[in-house]
Amino acid sequence: MSLVIENDLGTREVIKMATRERAAALSTREWKHRLAGYGYAVRDEADGQLILEKLPYRIDVCVLPPELFAT
């Protein structure tokens, strides 16, 4: 079971970092690679949610806003 925290101050900072890195990346693939450099991964759920996980233990951090994946 994983814990998803959506309103934590640290979580907001992580989402800001993910947003900043998405703006700098040319593709979704590059963005995911850049996030891995910070120790995070993106998991696609069956229901369409995108979960940001902390590596290496894959602990859920938050649900990412869908606009980060808009092309």
37-59: per-residue pLDDT in tens? Answer: 999 999 999 898 899 999 999 99
Provide DSSP, the chain.
Answer: -----SS-HHHHHHHHHHHHHHHH-SSHHHHHHHHHHTTEEEEE-TTS-EEEEETTTTEEEEEPPGGGG--
22-31: per-residue pLDDT in tens? Answer: 999 999 999 9
Nearest-angstrom CA–CA distance, 16 and 4: 17
The domain locations on the chain are 9-65
pTM, rounded to two decimals: 0.81
